[in-house]
Structure 1
Amino acid sequence: MKPLKEFVIPFIGLKIGTHLFEYKVGQAFFEYFEYDDFNDVNVDICVNLVKKVALLELQFKMSGIVNVNCDLTNEPFNQVIEDEFNLVVKFGEAYDDENTDILILPHGAYELNIQQYVYELIVLSVPIKRVHPGVEDGTLNSDILEKLEELSPKLEDKKETIEDIDPRWNTLKKLLTGK
């Protein structure tokens, strides 16, 4: 997979100190990764890179909305997401990304590709269970919700269920409750 040019940071020419990089991520970014769980994406990413003599510190801050389908009704809605992530980049003999917080680049590296970190930050900040806000507050009118309500088991009057119970169980219940 060829890296996206806009997410490659050439840190070799940067002075020691703090540098700010801002990105706007849209649906085309996720089409590149062939990820189709989102209907639409509008996310702002702010990367604060602190260059030191022997390492780089990156702080990712992300906020925006992703349009996803509700797990219950399949109705699309805008899910607000917000998250942060810190990454330390060190230099060593070979490339190593085994640790999630530390990236080791080989000596002589001159650029850093952050597209995978941006992708994972956005995907992992979306809740696992996606429920439309209208379902939670009862304002969403949907054919699927009506059908679920129609097919849900109805609770009957408690007196009828107590009378239908085998009398032997009632005797055992007296032992538990002491009545």
Structure 2
Amino acid sequence: MRKLKEFTIPFVGLKLGQHRFEFNIDNKFFEHFEYDEFNGADVKVDLLLEKKTTMMELTFKASGTVNVYCDLTNEPYDQPIDSELLLVVKFGAEYNDDNEDLLILPHGEYEVNVQQYIYELIVLAVPSKRVHPGVLDGSLRSEVLEKLDELSPGEKEVTKEEDIDPRWNKLKNLLNDK
């Protein structure tokens, strides 16, 4: 996958201490990952990079909305996003990102690309079951909901004895004749 240069942070020239970065994420970002679950995205990611002598701590905070389809009605709605991620960056012999909270960069590396962490932060902040807020409070009106209400099992009609086929009555007698 091609790295997006605006998400590459050259940390070698930064002084020790805290540094802030801000990223505005839209649908073009997700098109780069070939992720098409979102109709639209408007997410702001604040990154606090704390550079120390032997390591760095990156704190990601994402807030905003993504437009998704409801799993029940297929109606689009804006799902609020509010998520946070802490990533520790250390230096070692070789690159290793096996641990989700720890990134090991080779000695001599001078920049870090954070696009994958931002992508995962936003995608994992969306609930697995997406339900339109109008469904929860009852204010949404759609054809799908009306059809679901129409087809949902309501109170069962009590059948009268005369409505039952007489052949079934003969079978019931078999159970009683012991």
The question of a shared fold, defined as TM-score above 0.5 by the shorter chain, is answered with: yes
Q: CA deviation digits over 1:107-136, x for unaligned, max 9?
A: 000000000000000000001110001111
Larger radius of gyration: 2
Identity percentage of aligned residues: 60
The answer to whether 1:72 aligns with 2:72 is: yes
Alpha-carbon distance between aligned partners in 1 of 2:118 and 2:43, rounded to the nearest angstrom: 10
- Which amino acid letter does the alignment assign opposite residue 107 of structure 2? H
Count of matched residue pairs? 166
Q: Equivalent residue for 1:45?
A: 45
Q: CA deviation digits over 1:20-48, x for unaligned, max 9?
A: 00000000000010000000000000000
Q: Equivalent residue for 2:17?
A: 17
Q: Equivalent residue for 2:62?
A: 62
Deviation at 1:153, TM superposition (A): 1.1
Stretches (4+) displaced over 2 A: none
1:161-176 residue pairs with structure 2 within 5 A?
none
Deviation at 1:156, TM superposition (A): 2.6
Q: Equivalent residue for 2:26?
A: 26
Deviation at 1:95, TM superposition (A): 0.3
TM-score (norm 1): 0.88
- Which amino acid letter does the alignment assign opposite residue 25 of structure 2? V
Q: Equivalent residue for 2:127?
A: 127
Alpha-carbon distance between aligned partners in 2 of 1:58 and 1:134, rounded to the nearest angstrom: 37
1:126-145 residue pairs with structure 2 within 5 A?
126-145=126-145
Alpha-carbon distance between aligned partners in 1 of 2:22 and 2:70, rounded to the nearest angstrom: 30
Q: Which runs of 5+ in 2 are unaligned?
A: 165-171, 173-178
Q: Equivalent residue for 1:169?
A: none
Q: Which runs of 5+ in 1 are unaligned?
A: 167-179
Alpha-carbon distance between aligned partners in 1 of 2:98 and 2:31, rounded to the nearest angstrom: 26
